């Protein structure tokens, strides 16, 4: 997660700057265990060190929460649209040979 944030800080900004009571706290375990600053904070702050197991146990639910946070913002996969109509096997070949497509360019033997 830390590498993803470093690769695209603008993309992650909404979650990073979110209200900690809402979604902002989802990154807390990752920031504590995934950065040198986080490890130093765990070592230097006895209150955080006492909650080590709580933070470790929170990783899985936070990962699911991060996925749930971004899920509504994902773009639906667009349907592929052809620029031209699909040529049927028995239609005249679009190359202009006058042959059926399956006997010309659609046979796989002939490449233009």
Nearest Cα to Cα of residue 67 among 109, 10, 4, 110: 4
Q: Give ∠ CA 11-12-17 in degrees, rounded to 5.
A: 125
* Pure H helices in the chain: 2-7, 9-16, 28-34, 36-44, 46-50, 52-70
Taking the model in full, what pTM does it have?
A: 0.58
Is a pLDDT exceeding 80 seen at residue 110? no
Locus of tokens 């996969």: 77
Q: Do residues 61 and 29 make contact, with C-beta atoms less than 8 angstroms apart?
A: no
Mean pLDDT within 81-102: 87
pLDDT band at 111 (very low <50, low <70, confident <90, very high): low
Is a pLDDT exceeding 80 seen at residue 95? yes
């Amino acid at each position: 997660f830390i590498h993803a944030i470093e690769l695209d800080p603008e993309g992650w900004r909404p979650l990073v700057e979110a209200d900690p009571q809402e979604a902002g706290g989802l990154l807390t375990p990752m920031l504590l265990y995934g950065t040198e600053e986080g490890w130093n904070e765990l070592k230097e702050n006895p209150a955080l060190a006492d909650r080590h197991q709580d933070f470790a146990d929170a990783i899985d639910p936070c990962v699911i929460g991060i996925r749930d946070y971004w899920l509504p913002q994902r773009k639906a996969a667009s349907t592929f649209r052809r620029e031209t109509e699909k040529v049927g096997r028995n239609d005249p070949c679009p190359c202009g040979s006058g042959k059926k497509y399956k006997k010309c360019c659609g046979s796989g033997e002939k490449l233009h």
